[in-house]
Amino acid sequence: MIQQQTSLKVLDNSGAKKVKCIKILGGSKKKYATLGDIIVISVQQLRKKSKKIKKIKKKEIYNAIVINTKKKNKNRTGYFKNFSSNSIVLLNKQTSPIATRILTPIPYLLKKKKLQKIINISLGII
């Protein structure tokens, strides 16, 4: 479960390394974000190689979708899965990913939410 001021890892090749959650979208009383929720983030740290490219800038605000959380999640077979870190993928204003590649497989739950653009650039589905 992700709330405001949570530090997150970025799992794509957009150029950001660490970000901080500013707001959870989806209602005024929503306090926590889970898998597949869209959040507003601020970039805190960039990767070393991306400083030359200037695709993403430090201290800018973007939308992102939550890919992994440390909290246990029930998968389609009834077993629980948990990940080692809270992580996201950056989105642009049209809710398509900024990056061209996602570096890890994504959970099956995102396939149910019809996020086909993110599924196409990922390594697979778990």
Q: In which domain, by residue range, is 98 found?
A: 7-121
What does the pLDDT average to over 36-44?
95
CATH number, domain containing residue 78: 2.40.150.20
Question: How many domains are contained in the chain?
Answer: 1
What count of other Cβ atoms lies within 10 Å of the Cβ of residue 35? Answer: 20
Look up residue 39 and give its amino acid.
Answer: I
- The rounded distance, in Å, linking the Cα atoms of 67 and 99 is 14
In a domain, 2, yes or no: no
Is 29 in a helix, a strand, or coil? coil
In a domain, 71, yes or no: yes
In a domain, 1, yes or no: no
What does the pLDDT average to over 39-66?
87
In a domain, 82, yes or no: yes
pLDDT tens for residues 70-83?
A: 988 777 788 888 88
- The rounded distance, in Å, linking the Cα atoms of 121 and 115 is 11
pTM (two decimals): 0.88
For 34, phi then psi, to 5°, come to: -120, -170
Confidence of residue 38 (pLDDT cuts 50, 70, 90): very high
In a domain, 116, yes or no: yes
C-alpha angle 49-70-68 in degrees, rounded to nearest 5: 50
Predicted confidence at residue 53, as pLDDT, reads 65
What does the pLDDT average to over 93-111?
87
- The yes-or-no verdict on residue 124 having pLDDT over 90 is no
Mean pLDDT computed over every residue of the chain: 89
